[in-house]
Amino acid sequence: MDSLVTVSCLKHIYPDTTEIHMCGLDFVVNRGERVAILGGNGSGKTTLLYHVLGLLAPDEGRVSVFGVNPSVQYNAIRERIGVLLQTVDEQILSPTVWDDISFSPRNYGYKKEEIETMVGQVMSELGIQHLRDKICHYLSGGEKRKVALAGALVLRPELLILDEPFEGLDSRSRAELVTLLNTQNREGMTIVMSTHDLNLVASFADRVYVLAKGRGVVTAGTPAEIFMQADALRASNIDPPLLTELFLKLREHGVTVNVPTLVDQAVNDLVRIIKTGE
Amino acid sequence: MTHMHIPDGILPVWLWALGFILLSLFLGFTLHRLRTMDMKKMIPLLGTLSAAMLVGMSIPILPGYHINLSVVTGILIGPSLGFVAAFIANLILAFMGHGGITVVGLNTLLLGSEAVLGHTVFYLFTKRLPVFWRAALATLMTLFITTTILIGIVAMAHIDPEMLHHGEDHGHGTTGQGSVSTFAMLVLTIGAVGWIIEAAITGAVVRFISQVKPDLLGHVLHEKKTGE
Amino acid sequence: MIDVARIDHWAASGTGFFHRASVISKMLFLLFVVAAAVLARSPYPLMAGYFGILLVAVLARLPWTRMVMLSLYAVVFALLYGISLRGGWWLFALLIFKAITPSLAMLTLIVSTPYPKIFSFISAALPEMLAAGLFMTYRTLFILLELMDNFVAAIRLRGGFSPGSLYKNSSNISKGLGMLLVKAVERASRLYAVMAVRGYNGSMAQQGGGGLHREDYLPLGAGSLVLMLAILWR
């Protein structure tokens, strides 16, 4: 498979002497995948993403993005990467919505007509055309997030990186964002996301990496494989999804049942159990 | 605090024009000094510290007297960036109706001087005085100097022969010979009380920073690196 | 400091004919009135200008009562200066109207024009570093104002403010200001990361003021009239 991102045995020392060691499994993102990074507070999720973005250089270990070391050659790959950071207010740099969405294309030297087209398209996809001339700090939290996302998507990046994108969103907004991301992925975009939300991981990710404080990547696999590893999740300060815990407990009580990751699967299993009496 | 809330039309043309000329020269020199600094590092520092100066000005410590954090800004980001931050803050203040647009030059020279002098005096006394007293002393000395300059500016403004001539022509009761002593007395009296309070607050602010994030006081923020 | 959030809101939400006029015409309007204040040798043309601008503000449905009050801040220094000149009533009248007439013109500009448009116009004449710094300051100002408000609220709720206790209040405000500066610097380092990742290369926002509009006759006309009065009445 064509791997876009590879991170091996990372060690980073911050200026205040805090050390981050991530020498577990390698972190690999293949083209076209939707990857979720799970981990408790302080496990290194943001540190990992910052290394992928070239904002931090490892003191030990190897980071490769599109075949280059991003901390040295980020300029060579930056147009291929879109970013949505955790604190949206810090991602929005320009005073108006149009200014901010057009920030990257303007700075990369795109022509005015091209910029108009690109910005118009992405605003239309996200349903924010009406916000074009609005001043960013008057937008609601959800609108700011859409503007920041538009800024990340405007150049149609091959790789989209999101740091806890669902924080502070209500359930409807979360569902909208997942739908949007899945649409982008179907059109070829590779997506990497850090999150605490296991329920969303089930409906979104192809592959999940679990980080633990001081140990890096402790396990990796599909959502179904990861959710079965309840002990590993708890060791990383993550509670398994309620659905998983319920069905694992049913198994402990001798009920023959799969462990579903989605509610629909769970309903089918329960209906079968109730109807067959098993 | 020596931001002049002088409206447009009061000071003679030659004086505020001179202010703009001097501002251009100082800004040009400063921008030249900063040319090797990474813009991506400079602009956020300028934006956040200029904004912090404006926020500081929104807090009245006495009726009609506001602190402006110009000395602290100079201490944190250095004299060059501090001077530029002073210009940005003054331009925005003018466009908020605080002081005329024609006095932006003079105001920047005053506020910028506070950043430059504050930085210089603070680091002059490194290892000789505790942080609180270094910052307080820097503020006191700086404000005394810049207030004196302000009085000098007002004194120079009185030397406008045209204004005096027309005043006499209309015979509307002007003496044609102004005095700065009343102005100076008012400014120095109120100012002295304000200086002491501002010095104490600045000292406390810098001491707080030295306790919470001491690396900020080590010239770290304005080290020049070549950009990408 | 003048209530910048309220001014910003008026400018961003208004729809009257002065709001629709172009930035360039309103900046010229300001320039003409400032020039009139500089050139005037009599208070009468400036008095006429002040009330003329006020009439325009009323007709354009701008917040004129608030604007009048804000324009009067400029009187303080004018009075101080007049005292220092030891002048008579004529000089005082001249100084006061030299102060408040351009002040009202500035207020007319800022309550009818969002700051990003004003800064876009100015930034065309500034080096990129200053222009970008201007936009970044504007962007950050509201965030820091909110942060400071939260600090002050927290200090108040925790008993940190006492009427009449200058030492205690100043000491606690200093902690708030210190934290504000620390947060500001931390924000700056995160913004640096964002600018790097988003590829900043010299363009923070659109620059320039756009063209002239149909509604520009009003600000241009009003400004020209005030200036002509000041010149003719010398």
B174: pLDDT confidence band, cut at 50, 70 and 90?
very low
Nearest CA distance, C150 vs chain B (angstrom): 13
pLDDT band at residue B169 using 50, 70 and 90 as cut-offs: very low
> Which of C85, C173, C188 is closest, CB to CB, to B178?
C85
Q: Is B164's pLDDT higher than 60? A: no
- Count: domains in chain A: 2
Question: Residue C104 — pLDDT band, cuts 50, 70, 90?
Answer: very high
pTM: 0.82
Residues from chain C that touch B20, judged by Cβ atoms under 8 A, are: none
Inter-residue contact B47 to C133 (CB < 8 Å): yes
From the list C119, C139, C200, which residue is nearest A107 (CB)? C200
- Same domain? A201 vs A270: no
**C156 touches A at CB < 8 Å:** no
Question: C158 φ, ψ to 5°?
Answer: -95, 15
Check whether residue C106 and residue C218 sit in a common domain. yes
pLDDT-above-90 percentage for chain A? 38
Q: Is the pLDDT of residue B9 over 90?
A: no
- Same-domain pairing of C177 and C109: no
C220 contact partners, CB below 8 Å, separation of at least 6: C25, C28, C29
CB contact under 8 A, A55 and C12: no
* Position A174 pLDDT exceeds 60: yes
Minimal CA–CA distance to B197: which of B61, B83, B20? B61
Q: Is the pLDDT of residue B42 over 80?
A: yes
Among the partner residues B55, B178, B205, nearest to C148 by beta-carbon distance: B55
pLDDT in tens, B98-126: 878 999 999 999 999 999 999 999 998 87
The closest of A123, C206, C97, C130 to B26, measured between CA atoms, is C130
Beta strands in chain A, from DSSP E residues, in sequence order = 3-13, 19-22, 27-30, 34-39, 60-65, 81-84, 159-163, 190-195, 207-212, 216-221
Mutate which of B84, B95, B228 to disrupt the C interface (most C C-beta within 10 Å)? B95
As a whole number, mean pLDDT of residues B152-181 equals 54
Chain A residues within an 8 Å CB radius of C194 = 85, 90-91, 93
pLDDT reported for residue B62: 66
Count of helices and strands (H, E) across chain C: 11, 0
**Contact call for B166 and C173, based on CB within 8 A:** no
**Rg value, chain B, Cα:** 19
Question: Does one domain contain both A203 and A248?
Answer: no
Domains: count for chain B: 1
pLDDT of residue B159: 56
pLDDT at C229: 93
Which domain covers residue B153, as residue numbers?
13-217
A74 vs C226 pLDDT, higher one: C226
Examine the domain organization and report whether A221 and A246 are in the same domain.
no
CATH code, A31: 3.40.50.300
User: For the domain that residue B66 is a member of, what is the CATH number?
Assistant: 1.10.1760.20
pLDDT at position B170, please?
38
Domain extent for C188: 125-197
- Tell whether C150 lies on the interface with A, counting CB pairs under 8 A: no
CB contact (8 A) between residue A93 and residue C143: no
pLDDT value, residue A27: 93
Question: Of residues B170 and B129, which shows the higher confidence score?
Answer: B129
Residue A143 predicted with pLDDT over 80: yes
Question: Hunting for tokens 């410590």 — which residue is that?
Answer: B61
| A213 and A253 inside one domain | no
pLDDT band at B167, cuts 50/70/90? very low
- Are residues A57 and A155 located together in one domain of the fold? yes
Same domain, yes or no, for A79 and A52?
Answer: yes
- C89 lies in a domain? yes
Look up residue A240 and give its DSSP letter: P
Predicted confidence (pLDDT) at residue B173 exceeds the cutoff of 50 = no
**pLDDT for A240:** 83
Mutation site, C62, C68, C80, C85, interface B, largest B CB count within 10 A? C85
* Integer Cα distance of A244 and A199 in angstroms: 10
Touching subunits of C (3+ CB pairs, under 8 Å) are A, B
Least confident of A110-119, A228-237, C1-10, C128-137: C1-10
What's the confidence (pLDDT) of residue C137? 94
Residues A94 and A107: their CA atoms lie apart, in Å, by 12
pLDDT tens digit string along A86-134?
888 878 888 889 999 998 898 888 999 999 999 999 999 999 999 998 8
Please state, in angstroms and rounded to a whole number, the distance separating the CA atoms of residues C48 and C25.
Answer: 21
CB-based contact A92 C139, cutoff 8 Å: yes
Which range of A157-161, C156-160, C176-180 scores highest in mean pLDDT? It is: A157-161
> pLDDT at position B190, please?
78
Cα A187 to chain centroid distance, Å, stands at: 17
For residue C176, give the chain B residue with the closest CA.
B205
Q: Are residues A77 and A164 in the same domain?
A: yes
Mean per-residue pLDDT of chain A: 88
Q: Give me the residue from A55, A79, A81 closest to C193, CB to CB.
A: A55
State how far residue A95 is from chain C, nearest Cα, in angstroms.
6
Give C-chain residues touching B91 at CB under 8 angstroms.
Answer: 122, 134
Q: Residues 35..64 of C with a Cβ closer than 8 Å to B: which?
A: 37-38, 40-42
Contact A200, A227 (CB under 8 A): no
- Over residues B86-107, the mean pLDDT reads 90
Q: What percent of chain C has pLDDT over 90?
A: 46
Mean pLDDT value across residues B67-74 = 91
Contacting residues of B for C171, CB less than 8 Å apart:
204
Is C12 found in the same domain as C75? yes
Which chain B residue is nearest to residue C109, measuring alpha carbons?
B95
Do A259 and A169 share a structural domain? no
Name the residue among A79, A91, A93 with its Cβ closest to that of C204.
A93
- Residue C209: what pLDDT? 67
A221 three-state secondary structure:
strand
Q: Which pLDDT band holds residue A23 (cuts at 50, 70, 90)?
A: confident
Residue A171 to chain C, least CA–CA distance (Å): 26
Specify if B165 maps to a domain.
Answer: yes
* pLDDT of A11 above 80: yes
- Residue B177 is predicted with a pLDDT of 45
Domain that holds residue A250: 241-278
**Within 10 Å of residue C168's Cβ, how many Cβ atoms?**
13
Question: Are C71 and B175 in contact (CB < 8 Å)?
Answer: no
Q: Is the CB of residue A210 less than 8 Å from the CB of residue A218?
A: yes
* Chain B hits for C91, Cβ within 8 Å: 167, 172-174
Nearest Cα residue to B215 out of A50, A17, A59, A90: A17
* SS3 call for A220: strand
Q: Which residues from C are below 8 Å from A134, CB to CB?
A: 12
Nearest chain C alpha carbon to A100: C205
**Do residues A35 and A128 share a domain?**
yes
Chain C interface mutation, best of A98, A119, A137, highest count of C Cβ atoms under 10 Å = A137
Looking at the partner chain, which of B34, B47, B180 has a beta carbon nearest the beta carbon of C140? B47
C218 shares its domain with C152: no
Q: Is C14 on the interface with A (CB under 8 A)?
A: no
Does B164 map to a domain?
Answer: yes
Is the separation of the CB atoms in B53 and B85 below 8 Å? yes
Q: What is the mean pLDDT of residues A255-270?
A: 83
Per-residue pLDDT at B225: 45
C174 contacts B46? CB cut-off 8 A:
no
Chain A residues closer than 8 Å to C205 by CB: 94-96, 99
Q: Is the pLDDT of residue C88 over 90?
A: no
Tally of structural domains, chain C: 2
* DSSP secondary structure code for residue A239 in this structure: P
Give per-residue pLDDT as tens, C19-72.
999 999 999 999 999 999 999 988 999 999 999 999 999 999 999 999 999 898
Residue B10 distance to chain C (closest CA, Å): 6
pLDDT at residue B65 tops 70: no
Mean pLDDT value across residues B190-200: 87
C8 and C109 assigned to the same domain = yes
Report pLDDT for B21.
Answer: 97
Is residue C148 packed enough to be buried (19+ CB in 10 Å), middle (13-18) or exposed (0-12)? buried
Q: Tell me which of C163 and B193 has the higher pLDDT.
A: B193
Helix axes C128-157, C4-13, angle to 10 degrees: 120
